[in-house]
Amino acid sequence: MKKEIIDILKELMKYKTVNGSLQEFEGIFEYIKSYMNNGLYYNEYVFNENKACVISNYDGNEFDVVFSTHIDVVPASSYEYSEDDKNIYGRGTIDMKGSVAVLLKLFNDIETNKRIALFITSDEEQDGNCTYELLKIYKTKLAIVPDGGTHFNLINEEKGLLRLKLSIKTKSAHSSQPFNGVNAICELVDVYKKIIKKYQLPKSDKEYITSVNLAKFVGGDALNKIADYAEMYLDIRHIKKDTKENIIEFIKKINKDVKLEILLEGDVFETNLDNEEIKRYIEICESILKRKITIVGCESTSDAIYFSNLGIPTIIMNPDGYYAHCPNEYVSKESLVYLFKIYKEFIEGGDING
């Protein structure tokens, strides 16, 4: 079983599934479709030119459990993978082709009376719209999203997402005469400094606080000119007490001349730890892993919000691995086997409550 899961992961890693690589996405979905056994149902969709598929053991649209995954990755300098005895390294291993490999194997092997489905999307790293659209078609009693945290920690909260474009138009002048102009770049730099003074950057994953990433900065069009236009793009991940409304209000007050545009927003994710199926899932994890499950908050945002926004109980848990979106991203081979065992026992045993 371990070898087959790893072999599937290696096949998935062959595809450079970054936004805009249409042929790579076509190739990976063809591989996925060809791998699945004939007893399963396979449906493909396209939303805003992004492909998604739904694999299920039931030809309908109401399920007991939906697993929600994605196969797109963020850009990297290299899309090659490497391995040693313990881990597979490369872009997308933990986020989240390793878990996709586990679920492809699971759906091919499992026998259950429960109605289960697997969402595989290609736009989670952009905005997750595919999952949003799929939930207009499909319903489920429970969702499992292996896209947050590490070391089989259960995620009880994920930060909300707020992506902003801040821009300002000022007055140009000759670069030797700054007194005749207003430098737009400096104006936005001052705004950024005031933002991170209030929302200080976390120094480790132990600090579960709102974070602000200056993702992109554009300004100036000539070296001998005072820049009269600049724009910066912020990716903000906020905790529950720091609401989107409060963050936006604070930024707007810093400089009245700055134009603020909301590019994307996502709610804070919260899970209901009193839900009986989530309790059963935790018990299964503790039985298989032979230890207590740690419950933590997660810095990132995932497609889980589209389920929780509909009131669907949702489980977020990742296998062992780390450094998502980093050059040294990895997933533990052995942990993928444990993830398979957890999913198999959870699906095969017990009842999904209505």
Structure tokens given for 291: 């230890």
| DSSP summary character for residue 221 | S
* Residue 62 one-letter amino acid: E
Q: pLDDT at position 83, please?
A: 94
Alpha-carbon dihedral 241, 136, 102, 21, rounded to 10 degrees: -90
Question: What pLDDT digit, counting tens, does each position of 65-95 carry?
Answer: 999 999 999 998 889 999 999 999 999 999 9
Question: What pLDDT digit, counting tens, does each position of 148-183 carry?
Answer: 888 999 999 889 999 999 999 999 999 999 999 999
Structure tokens given for 85: 């005895």
Q: pLDDT at position 351, please?
A: 61
Rounded to a whole number of angstroms, the CA Rg of the chain reads 22
Question: What pLDDT digit, counting tens, does each position of 93-144 carry?
Answer: 999 999 999 999 999 999 899 999 999 999 999 888 999 999 999 999 999 9
Categorize the per-residue pLDDT at 350 as very low, low, confident or very high, splitting at 50, 70 and 90.
low
How far is residue 149 from each of residues 94, 156, 174, 321, 351, measured CA to CA in Å? 10, 10, 51, 9, 27
Domains annotated on the chain, with CATH = 2-158+269-348 (3.40.630.10), 160-266 (3.30.70.360)
Tell me how far apart the alpha carbons of residues 69 and 66 are, in angstroms, rounded to a whole number. 10
pLDDT above 70 covers a percentage of the chain that reads 99
Question: What pLDDT digit, counting tens, does each position of 258-291 carry?
Answer: 999 999 988 888 888 999 999 999 999 999 999 9
Tell me how far apart the alpha carbons of residues 188 and 205 are, in angstroms, rounded to a whole number. 28
Q: What is the pTM of this model?
A: 0.83
Q: pLDDT at position 354, please?
A: 39
Residue 353 has pLDDT above 50, yes or no: yes
Please check whether residue 121 is in contact with residue 25, taking contact to mean a CB–CB distance below 8 angstroms: no
Closest CA to 212 of 196, 197, 190: 196
Question: What pLDDT digit, counting tens, does each position of 298-347 carry?
Answer: 888 889 999 999 999 999 999 999 888 899 999 999 999 999 999 999 99
Residue 203 has pLDDT above 80, yes or no: yes
Mean pLDDT on 46-57: 96
Question: Residue 257 phi/psi, 5° resolution?
Answer: -85, -10
